């Protein structure tokens, strides 16, 4: 896990590029770190601490060349709910517990599994988070007073409506100014760090013209300490671990998903490949260490990682330089941050929410009017009106049920009736005559034999055999997997057939499902000699088992050959 080739072969020119990229990303990360911390219900310096420490650890121990870690908007609803319900101290413990879970995921190599979460679920909860972030900034945008933060969306909306008469026109002007800067500055000055400009200019105007008339970081939080974060051990108890494991699991899952998605985006932009399990390890270690310095949970940030790449990053040194730059900025300029109006942070988070909402993808999935649409809407509504810890499991459950329902319909049991050319009767090769042998039944199985389709497989096969044949041939070339339930249903049918003096022949079964039958013991029940690589061989063997003299069709012929199966090959079954 710790062999690392990400730092090999670097030149002085590469380090220079990493330095420029690190400073660029640092300029973007500072306002976002403070904004995300405030929106999560904690002091802004904790967002800065998280940016420094988590960014450094993920750069050193993660699995991506370009990942930039820190606080992100996706965490805001979970973290705010924990702070409101349990307090800041328990938020740190939940973050540490989430870090332990992420490391366990990396050890058990869950990195690739997380990416299998359906898009309808990820779009659903991402859009729901965007709504919560956007609505949560209405208070600061309008400068409302006497707002009491609530745990649920509808409660917060009622709070805003009740206090709508406390709108501060100066806050609205500052917020609109910040929004206009974010929208128009990139169009005319694309190289300027727009988010930093959207904080500095409103802060200057507020200080010069509206001093004391708008809420600032200083008036709300007492400013930001101009010092290194201090080490503190949270008070961890067994009782706290019991009631914090569920939100911690939500943090771990969301952090794992977002960090790996960010790494995949980086791979697509650069052509390099990340190591998913190592990335989970780096994220887990960062979330274990960061709370000791007051930091909140962190994950890979897609927007900052993309900015890092676009700024010319070559290696993880860009993430290291970013952390150093943010730390130096904290030590040199922290006192000035107290003058930043909260109203100038509101449009930053609103734009972040809009960008992460993926409204186009939401609309396209919703228009499909399929089970994916139901999963999308359910996950979205539960995220907004309940919480993410409920929304994601239920969304995954619905997606799983929908998948099982769809895949179970793929299973098809086809009764094959052999066909031969009737040229001896003078009707030509284009005319075919169908014959069925009552002593041999042959079926082709299409699709996976798993718990969602196993019962249907058994019942379909039972209904298809009208008369009890002597030999049953099952061609299973198209069976990709057999699970425990599928094996059990197949075993029930086979044992019943054998008990009635029948013989079961299995043909063309792939190695993986064959291994399943061997491990379960069904292979021995059927008999090793009754498994064939070619269906034609199985037919020839079946003809040796049955008594041709008692066949009503064969009795009409002078020779003792089976006309039904004489010209049948494996392609016809």
Give the three-state DSSP class for 425: helix
**DSSP H/E element including 357:** none
Decide: residue 540, CB within 10 A, 0-12 exposed, 13-18 middle, 19+ buried.
Answer: middle
* CA-based radius of gyration for the chain: 33
321 has pLDDT over 90: yes
Q: Across residues 193-220, what is the average pLDDT? A: 92
What is the per-residue pLDDT for 567?
A: 45
User: Cα(449)–Cα(488) distance, rounded to whole angstroms?
Assistant: 10
227 has pLDDT over 60: yes
Cβ–Cβ under 8 Å, residues 517 and 482: yes
User: Cα(255)–Cα(164) distance, rounded to whole angstroms?
Assistant: 35
34 has pLDDT over 50: yes
User: Cα(400)–Cα(452) distance, rounded to whole angstroms?
Assistant: 11
User: Cα(91)–Cα(85) distance, rounded to whole angstroms?
Assistant: 10
**Which segment of 356-365, 433-442, 452-461, 534-543 scores lowest on mean pLDDT?**
433-442
Cβ–Cβ under 8 Å, residues 145 and 163: yes
C-alpha angle with apex 286: 282 to 288, nearest 5 degrees? Answer: 120
**Which segment of 142-146, 336-340, 506-510, 546-550 scores lowest on mean pLDDT?**
546-550
Per the listing, tokens 């200083």 go with: 218
User: Cα(246)–Cα(248) distance, rounded to whole angstroms?
Assistant: 5
271 has pLDDT over 70: yes
Share of the chain above pLDDT 70, in %: 90
551 has pLDDT over 90: no
User: Cα(503)–Cα(295) distance, rounded to whole angstroms?
Assistant: 68
What is the per-residue pLDDT for 562?
A: 56
550 has pLDDT over 90: no
CA 315 to chain centre: 26
User: Cα(88)–Cα(47) distance, rounded to whole angstroms?
Assistant: 13
547 has pLDDT over 70: no
Q: Across residues 219-242, what is the average pLDDT? A: 87
What is the per-residue pLDDT for 423?
A: 40
Q: Which of 387, 568, 409, 403 is nearest to 473 (CA)?
A: 568
Structure tokens at 432: 């075919």
Task: Identify which has the larger pLDDT, 537 or 456.
Answer: 537
Cβ–Cβ under 8 Å, residues 548 and 554: yes
User: Cα(566)–Cα(437) distance, rounded to whole angstroms?
Assistant: 12
What single DSSP character describes residue 553?
A: T
What is the per-residue pLDDT for 71?
A: 95
Give the three-state DSSP class for 504: strand
User: Cα(322)–Cα(55) distance, rounded to whole angstroms?
Assistant: 8
23 has pLDDT over 90: yes
407 has pLDDT over 90: no
339 has pLDDT over 70: yes
Could you count the other beta carbons within 10 Å of the beta carbon of residue 406?
A: 12
467 has pLDDT over 80: no
Q: Which of 273, 262, 341 is nearest to 302 (CA)?
A: 262
CA 125 to chain centre: 11
Q: Across residues 358-368, what is the average pLDDT? A: 92
Task: Identify which has the larger pLDDT, 96 or 562.
Answer: 96
What single DSSP character describes residue 563?
A: T
Task: Identify which has the larger pLDDT, 58 or 257.
Answer: 58
Task: Identify which has the larger pLDDT, 565 or 503.
Answer: 503
Q: Which of 448, 419, 454 is nearest to 434 (CA)?
A: 419
Structure tokens at 314: 């070559």
What is the per-residue pLDDT for 1?
A: 44
Cβ–Cβ under 8 Å, residues 138 and 319: no
User: Cα(117)–Cα(120) distance, rounded to whole angstroms?
Assistant: 9
Q: Across residues 246-273, what is the average pLDDT? A: 90
443 has pLDDT over 80: yes
pTM as predicted: 0.77
365 has pLDDT over 90: yes
**Pairing between β-strand 440-446 and β-strand 471-478 as defined by DSSP bridges:** parallel
Q: Across residues 432-447, what is the average pLDDT? A: 72
What is the per-residue pLDDT for 412?
A: 78
Q: Across residues 457-483, what is the average pLDDT? A: 84
Q: What is the mean pLDDT of the chain?
A: 87
Q: Across residues 358-366, what is the average pLDDT? A: 92
CA 226 to chain centre: 39
What is the per-residue pLDDT for 553?
A: 53
pLDDT band for position 112 (50/70/90)?
confident
Cβ–Cβ under 8 Å, residues 308 and 9: no
436 has pLDDT over 90: no
**Which segment of 43-47, 106-110, 388-392, 497-501 scores lowest on mean pLDDT?**
388-392
User: Cα(49)–Cα(572) distance, rounded to whole angstroms?
Assistant: 69
Cβ–Cβ under 8 Å, residues 387 and 168: no
Domains of the chain from N-terminus onward: 13-401 (no CATH), 412-572 (3.30.750.24)
User: Cα(563)–Cα(552) distance, rounded to whole angstroms?
Assistant: 12
**DSSP H/E element including 73:** none
Cβ–Cβ under 8 Å, residues 272 and 5: no
pLDDT band for position 425 (50/70/90)?
very low
What is the per-residue pLDDT for 80?
A: 92
What is the per-residue pLDDT for 549?
A: 61
């Amino acid at each position: 896990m710790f062999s690392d080739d990400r730092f090999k072969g670097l030149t002085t020119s590469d380090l220079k590029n990493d330095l420029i990229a690190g400073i660029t990303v640092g300029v973007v990360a500072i306002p976002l770190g403070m904004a995300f911390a405030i929106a999560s219900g904690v002091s802004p310096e904790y967002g800065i601490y998280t940016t420094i420490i988590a960014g450094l650890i993920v750069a050193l121990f993660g699995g991506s060349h370009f990942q930039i870690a820190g606080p992100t908007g996706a965490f805001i609803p979970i973290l705010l709910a924990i702070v409101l319900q349990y307090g800041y101290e328990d938020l740190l413990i939940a973050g540490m517990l989430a870090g332990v879970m992420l490391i366990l995921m990396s050890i058990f190599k869950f990195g690739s599994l997380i990416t299998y979460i359906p898009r309808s679920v990820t779009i659903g909860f991402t859009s729901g988070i965007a709504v919560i972030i956007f609505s949560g900034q209405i208070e600061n945008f309008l400068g409302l007073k006497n707002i009491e933060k609530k745990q649920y969306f509808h409660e917060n909306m009622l709070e805003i409506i009740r206090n709508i008469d406390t709108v501060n026109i100066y806050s609205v002007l500052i917020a609109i100014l910040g929004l206009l800067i974010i929208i128009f500055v990139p169009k005319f000055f694309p190289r300027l760090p727009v988010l930093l400009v959207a904080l500095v200019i409103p802060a200057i105007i507020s200080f010069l013209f509206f001093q004391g008339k708008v809420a600032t970081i200083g008036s709300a939080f007492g400013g930001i300490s101009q010092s290194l974060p201090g080490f503190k051990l949270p008070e961890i108890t067994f009782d706290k671990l019991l009631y914090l494991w569920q939100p911690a699991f939500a943090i771990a899952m969301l952090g794992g998903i977002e960090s790996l998605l960010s790494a995949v985006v980086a791979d697509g932009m650069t052509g390099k490949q990340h190591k998913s399990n190592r990335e989970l390890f780096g994220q887990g270690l960062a979330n274990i260490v960061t709370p000791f310095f007051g930091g909140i949970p962190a994950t890979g940030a897609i927007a900052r990682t993309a900015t890092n790449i676009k700024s010319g990053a070559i290696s993880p040194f860009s993430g290291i330089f970013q952390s150093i730059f943010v730390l130096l900025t904290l030590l040199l300029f922290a006192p000035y941050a107290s003058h930043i109006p909260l109203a100038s942070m509101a449009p930053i988070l609103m734009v972040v929410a809009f960008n992460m909402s993926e409204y186009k993808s939401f609309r396209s999935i919703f228009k499909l009017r399929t089970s994916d649409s139901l999963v999308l809407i359910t996950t979205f509504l539960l995220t907004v009106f309940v919480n993410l810890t409920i929304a994601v499991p239920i969304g995954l459950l619905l997606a799983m049920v929908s998948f099982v329902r769809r895949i179970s319909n793929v299973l098809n049991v086809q009764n094959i009736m052999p066909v031969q050319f009737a040229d001896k009767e003078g009707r030509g090769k284009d005319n075919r005559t169908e014959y069925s042998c009552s002593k041999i039944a042959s079926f082709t199985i299409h699709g996976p034999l798993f718990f969602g389709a196993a019962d249907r497989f058994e019942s379909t096969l039972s209904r298809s055999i009208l008369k009890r044949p002597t030999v049953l041939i099952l061609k299973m070339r198209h069976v990709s997997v057999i699970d425990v339930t599928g094996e059990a249903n197949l075993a029930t049918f086979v044992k019943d057939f054998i008990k009635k003096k029948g013989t079961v022949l299995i043909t063309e079964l792939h190695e993986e499902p064959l291994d399943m039958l061997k491990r379960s013991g069904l292979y021995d029940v059927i008999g090793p000699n009754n498994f064939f690589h070619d269906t034609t061989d199985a037919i020839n063997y079946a003809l040796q088992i049955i008594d041709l003299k008692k066949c009503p069709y064969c009795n009409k012929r002078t020779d003792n050959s089976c006309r039904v199966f004489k010209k049948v090959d494996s392609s016809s079954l």
